[in-house]
Homo-oligomer: A and B are copies of this chain.
Amino acid sequence: MNQSTLEQPGYRAAVVDLLGVLAYGELTAFIKMAVDSDLAPSLSLKSSMAQLANTEFVQYTELVDHMRSIGIDPDAAMLPFVAPFAAYHERTRPKGWLEGLVKAFVGDGIAKDFYREVSAFVDEDTRAVMASALDDAGEADFVVQVVRQALATDPTAAGRLALWGRRLMGEALSQAQAVAVDRDALSALLVGGGVDLGEVGRMFTRLTDNHQKRMGRLGLTA
């Protein structure tokens, strides 16, 4: 697929989907983080969470600008993903700022894993803009630190947050599967790139492994 260009309609449709799902993911992540920051227990945490939200917005803007620069209508590209993201967020409403932070951390991790899986199958420009949009400039470290501090103060939170992490991963995979069924071009990008059913299985194993590692970084069992 290295010779893929945006002139090929099937490949173009896949890139439109890829950028659309990433952009809408950033936009909703921005909104959810801003909403959760309102519940932060201190001004300094509220400010830091607002900063995280802002980073998501800047990355959203980068993706949208890139789409426009190559003639893609961002709203049309994002539209197919409004319903699955709404379903995901509806089923995973955080109770408080700490669950919100864990959710952002897990969601960002899944987005990065997804990027890593597809980056081998996309052209150089698309790969670069995706990498930039998913570079969190160490902000995930802030989440790790805050969650670990919170667990040190309230060890009973560990069980609740571990359960929360499992629920987030389950709902994310469930929506990802719905998207895969619905978006032919996106699925074809992976399958056409030489991914057989066995490889899809291994991909899910990798996603689950990475999720467990991330939960471990937070001090939680997955």
Chain A positions near chain B (C-beta within 8 angstroms): 27, 30-31, 34-35, 37-38, 42-44, 46-47, 50-51, 53-54, 57-58, 60-61, 64, 74-75, 78-79, 82
Q: B34 touching A47 by the CB < 8 A rule?
A: no
Name the residue of chain B whose CB is nearest to the CB of A46: B27
- Report which of B57, B78, B82 forms a contact with A54, defined as CB distance below 8 A: B57
Task: State the number of copies, please.
Answer: 2
Complex interface: chain B residues within 8 A of A43 (CB):
75, 78-79, 82
Complex interface: chain B residues within 8 A of A50 (CB):
27, 30-31, 57, 60
State the Cβ distance, A108 to closest chain B Cβ, in Å: 17
State the Cβ distance, A76 to closest chain B Cβ, in Å: 9
A contacts with B: majority SS: helix
State the Cβ distance, A25 to closest chain B Cβ, in Å: 13
Give bound CA distance, A78 to B47, whole Å: 11
Q: A31 touching B27 by the CB < 8 A rule?
A: no
What would 9 more interface pairs be, CB under 8 Å, given A31-B35, A57-B57?
A27-B46, A27-B50, A34-B35, A34-B53, A35-B35, A35-B38, A42-B75, A47-B64, A50-B57
Q: A75 touching B47 by the CB < 8 A rule?
A: yes
